[in-house]
Amino acid sequence: MSLLRVEGLHKSFGGVKAVQGVSLAVAAGELLALIGPNGAGKSTCFNMLNGQIRPDAGRVTLAGQDITGLAPRAIWRLGVGRTFQITATFASLSVLENVQMALLSHQRRLMRLWAPLSAEDPTPALALLERLGMAEQAARPCGVLAYGDLKRVELAIALANNPRLLLMDEPTAGMAPAERVALMALTARIARESGIAVLFTEHDMDVVFTHADRLLVLDRGRMLAEGSPEDVRANPAVREVYLGHEGRH
Ligand SMILES: Nc1ncnc2c1ncn2[C@@H]1O[C@H](COP(=O)(O)OP(=O)(O)OP(=O)(O)O)[C@@H](O)[C@H]1O
Ligand SMILES: [Mg+2]
């Protein structure tokens, strides 16, 4: 059974039909890439799934529960994680403290933050950082990290909420090609190990074709193609509108 099921999403901004009838499903442990040219409606889809934008029409269900139009906080509480918002990390706090904060927040214990974080058992946060290859940098302030390492901390923060579904809108934007591949490889491994469903968008076709189990191609708000990387790569309509003139990166 699919963990995430999306049926007939629509959203217009004034006269712009940003998303017109998008349906998709993602299973636990599966990586679905949402791709398409600039302005295709990818971010609008993400924002409808995470609660930032209310759809004009359509339905979103998570493990059978209708979450359409719920507030972002409520959707997050149900286990929908988002990654890679730079502002989600506190630059002056250490890597460890950032992850400890995220774990406390997940356990709804943030009210205890008047107590020093150093009084908390660091073991769970260190274990998470270990999984992401960031344990050695635990004591460094986030503000001094290299960009790729900051992305790993942001992934750790998202995972601290123990998500069932991760939404990743251009997670590797701004990263060097080798770092992009490494970050998505890490994400894919963790998603498969932990049975997390991942919906991601990405302009780098190497990353998409290497790590996605399935692809969904949008063009001007509409679904153009869907299928395995091989099917989509061979689809003439996709080649025409998308692969022929790659994205902006
Ligand atoms: N808040 C908004 N107000 C008005 N128009 C918007 C708004 N958000 C998106 N749009 C328009 O909706 C369309 C889809 O935009 P969206 O950001 O979803 O595309 P995208 O696929 O994420 O593109 P990109 O690859 O550039 O990130 C575009 O025409 C965009 O200009
Ligand atoms: Mg976008």
**What separation in Å is there between the alpha carbon of 234 and the centre of ligand 2?**
24
The answer to whether 21 touches 193, Cβ cutoff 8 Å, is no
Closest CA to 26 of 211, 198, 145, 215: 198
Residue 247: what pLDDT?
A: 45
**What separation in Å is there between the alpha carbon of 19 and the centre of ligand 1?**
9
Residue 243: what pLDDT?
A: 57
Indicate the top mutation candidate among 43, 56, 200 to test ligand 1's pocket, ranked by most ligand atoms within 8 A of CB.
Answer: 43
Residue 248: what pLDDT?
A: 41
**What separation in Å is there between the alpha carbon of 67 and the centre of ligand 1?**
22
* Ligand closest in space to the Cα of 218: 1
Determine if ligand 1 sits within 6 Å of the CB of residue 44: yes
Could you identify the atom of ligand 1 that is nearest to the CA of residue 19? 14
Q: Whole-angstrom Cα distance, residue 216 to residue 34? A: 5
**What separation in Å is there between the alpha carbon of 42 and the centre of ligand 1?**
8
Domain ranges of the chain: 1-79+163-249, 91-162
Pairing of strands 165-169, 197-201: parallel
The answer to whether 11 touches 19, Cβ cutoff 8 Å, is yes
**What separation in Å is there between the alpha carbon of 230 and the centre of ligand 2?**
24
How many C-beta neighbours within 10 Å does residue 68 have? 18
In Å, how far from its chain's centre is CA 190?
A: 13
The answer to whether 67 touches 60, Cβ cutoff 8 Å, is yes
List per-block mean pLDDT (blocks of 10 residues) for the chain, which spans 249 residues.
95 97 97 95 96 97 96 93 67 90 77 66 93 94 90 91 93 86 92 96 89 95 95 91 55
Backbone angles phi, psi at 190, to 5 degrees: -65, -40
Nearest CA to ligand 1 atom 4: 13
Nearest CA to ligand 1 atom 30: 39
| CB-based burial label for 66 (10 Å; 0-12, 13-18, 19+) | exposed
Instruction: Rounding to the nearest 10 degrees, give the CA dihedral for residues 116, 122, 128, 133.
Output: 100
Nearest CA to ligand 1 atom 17: 43
Q: Which CATH superfamily is domain 1-79+163-249 in?
A: P-loop containing nucleotide triphosphate hydrolases (3.40.50.300)
